[in-house]
Amino acid sequence: MSAQLESLPLRKQPGREGRNAGMALDLDWIAGLQVNRSAVERRTATLVKRRTVKKAWQAAWLLKAVSCIDLTTLAGDDTPGRVRRLCAKARQPVRRAVLEALGAGDVSLTVGAVCVYHTMVETAVAALAGSGIPVAAVSTGFPAGLSPFDLRLREIEASVHAGAREIDIVITRGHVLTGDWPALYDEVRAFREACGPAHMKTILGTGDLGTLRNVARASVVCMMAGADFIKTSTGKESVNATLPISLVMTRMIRDYQTRSGHRIGFKPAGGISTAKDALAYLILMKEELGRDWLEPTLFRFGASSLLTDIERQLDHHTTGRYAAVYRQPMA
């Protein structure tokens, strides 16, 4: 499997991507954005039919997917014990025996980050000490994003102080629905300042935005305001990550890079639960943005159950049989 792994190198924790400095709000650019829904849907419908990976190549791509997972627990019944177990899994996401059977026993494989609520940040930071795996905290009144503005800022600052190296903030969707782009820009800019050294992932809540044009406009405004990543969803909306939404957002990332010179990361979240889904998103990133966006510095999956299915697929690759879900460590 060495050739496959060489084509998709698995680095333990790549160097951090340079920060997005943002730019002045360009209302003309926003007003001129148009999205052809039928063309977007045709493109994504044919994407995975025209591009596929099989056998050892598929196993290598799935290992790459593991390295890009934000392993997440955002439940009301989270406990320190659950978070510590999640962090242990983050350190060793695929069983050593499976890696050795794949010929990847010497690969130092971890997930991209562990994502938790603010109250669990200190627990996660302690559990991951020395691993190089960052802790990401959801913030700003997640998932609705409607708590008082000063409380949202203080929540960001508290999570950074507790050791979170990444902050997933939630925008006010009402600013998008009413077309109040200056208000959205100022809000995200303030969140970026509150994040300080922590990288900021901006959750658009795309299932609440109504149209793909709104998704495109919100993506651009958030990048102008300094977002290091743009993220589809909280995972709590009725519609979360989809390939058409993701195609629109990745093309806005490409346009922003052309105009500003800054590379912005992308994080689809919510509803991505199978290895097949993961491969589709990796193919999308490779085709639309290029090889650089197959690293955790620029691409993450927001997922809680995806890792279990990837492990089952890797197990099948080595044994020819699917293990029961309950046999997986995180099931």
Catalytic residues: 168, 231, 267
User: Could you give the CA distance from residue 330 to residue 79 in angstroms, rounded to a whole number?
Assistant: 15
Per the omega criterion (within 30 degrees of 0), is the bond before 143 cis?
yes
End-to-end CA distance of the chain: 27
User: Could you give the CA distance from residue 77 to residue 73 in angstroms, rounded to a whole number?
Assistant: 10
User: Could you give the CA distance from residue 91 to residue 154 in angstroms, rounded to a whole number?
Assistant: 30
**Would you mind telling me the total number of residues written for the chain in this entry?**
331
